[in-house]
Amino acid sequence: MKLVHETLRRFVDSGQIAGCSIKIIRGGETLHKECLGYANIEQQTPITEKTIFPIASMTKVITVAGLMRLYEQGLFKLWDPVSEYLPGFKNPTIAVEKPDGGYDIVPAKGEVTLRQLFTMTSGVPYAGKETAAARIQDQKGDAYIAEHGSMPDTKTWCNMVGQLPLAFEPGEKWMYGFSIDVLGAVIEVLSGQTLGDYLQEHIFDPLGMKDTGFYVPAEKQHRVATLYHIDEGMKPDDRTYPAEKPAFESGGGGLFSIVRDYSRFAQMLLRGGTLDGERILGRKTIDLIATDHLTPQQQATHNWDTQRGYGYGLGVRVMKNPEIAESNGSVGEWGWDGAFGNWFCVDPKEKLTCVYLTTNLPGSHYRFIPKLTAAMYASLD
C-alpha cells in the first residue's frame, strides 16, 4: 500500500504528528503494517509494534462488546431503565439553561435507558464547560477529588453521576458524553466483577490481547508513547499513567493497547464474533451493534465533521452515505476513534479492518483520517 505509506510518511516528515502505528488486514491477509516516527521525540525512541498507546475512546467499543455478551445471556434488555442496575439514576432531573447563563433544575419526563446510553442519546454529559449539566459534573468531580484525593470506584462514581442533572430529556438528541462509562458500571453490577477483570477474562485473554488493560505495569511503562501537543510545536504532554489497577476504570476512555492487540479485537468483530476458535459475540449481535439506531431528530444533532455521512449504532459510527462523508469507502463501514488521534474501522463489504494509533493532542481526526482512508481505499484491487 504505497499510497498509505506515502500519506503517513508525509504526516510525520512534515512535523504534523510525532508518529503512528498502523495495521490493515483484508481477507485474513495483512496488507499493510508499519510504524513511523517517534514514541518519544526528545529521547529519539522510535514507535515499534510493541509501543503502547492510550487509546481513549476506542475503549468504548470494547466496553460495548463486553456488555453485549451479557445481553446475549438474557441479563438485560436495551430499553431497561438504567436505575434497575444503578439506583443513582432513579428520578432524573435536567439542567435547563437560562439566557443569563444560569440554569433551572426540572424533573425529567422519563428515565434514562440502557439503549440511550449505548447510542449517546441519554443526556449524560462529559464533565466540561459546554452545558450547565457538564459544568455541574465538572464541579462535582473536582470537589470529590479535592476531598478524597482520587476518583471513587467505577460503580460509586457512575451512581453519583446518575444523581446529577442531565443536559436534556433522555432520547431527545445525540450528544457525545459519559454514557458508555456508565455502561461499564452496569457490567460490574451484572457480572459481579470489576470492569477490568471482566474484560480480561472474557475479551483480552481469549483474544490474546496481552498488552491491553486499564493500567500499564511498571515493567512496561517505558513502552508507552508520549502524547504531543501538535499545534504547540510538538510540546510533550507530561501526564503519567497508572502502574497499578485504578479504582475508577473508565469504560469510555481508560484503556491502553498496541496495534496488534486492537487489530485482533477488530478482526473478531469483522469475522462475526469469533477469532481463532474463540467466540466472543454472536454474528447477529454484531449486526445489531453496527446498525444505525438514530431517529431523524437525533441524527440532526449527530453533526461533527467526522460524522458527516454516518449514523450511530451501539457505541460506533456507521457509514450510510459515502458521498456526504467525502469518502471512497463502503456503505456499512463502522468503528470509532479516540481523543488522541486514534481510529479504527471494520468494513464487512471489503472484509477489511484498519487500526491506526497515534499520539495527537488534539486528535484532529478530520485533519488526518479522511486522507488516510482515501489512500487506503484507493489501494484496494
Q: How many CA atoms lie within 13 A of 14 on its CB side?
A: 10
What pLDDT score does 101 carry?
84
CATH classification code of 71-191: 3.40.710.10
Assign domain 2-58+211-378 to its CATH architecture: 3-Layer(aba) Sandwich (3.40)
> Per-residue confidence at 128, pLDDT binned at 50, 70, 90?
very high
Average pLDDT, the chain: 97
pLDDT in tens, 281-296: 999 999 999 999 999 9
Q: Model-level pTM?
A: 0.97
What's the pLDDT at 235? 98
Question: What integer pLDDT is reported at residue 211 of this predicted model?
Answer: 98
HSE value, Cβ hemisphere, 13 Å, CA-based, for 100: 3
| Fold match, 2-58+211-378 / 71-191 | yes
Question: pLDDT tens digits for 47-93?
Answer: 999 999 999 999 999 999 999 999 999 999 999 999 999 999 999 99
% of residues, the chain, pLDDT over 70: 100
Render pLDDT for 244-280 as a digit per residue (tens, 0 to 9): 999 999 999 999 999 999 999 999 999 999 999 999 9
CA distance 79 to 56: 27
% of the chain at pLDDT higher than 90: 99
Q: Residue 111 above 90 pLDDT?
A: yes
Query: What are the structural domain ranges in the chain?
Result: 2-58+211-378, 71-191
Query: What would the mean pLDDT of 31-47 be, rounded to a whole number?
Result: 98
Work out the pLDDT band at 321, boundaries 50, 70, 90. Answer: very high
Q: Count Cβ atoms within 10 A of the Cβ of residue 291 and give its class: 0-12 exposed, 13-18 middle, 19 or more buried.
A: middle
Average pLDDT over residues 191-219: 98
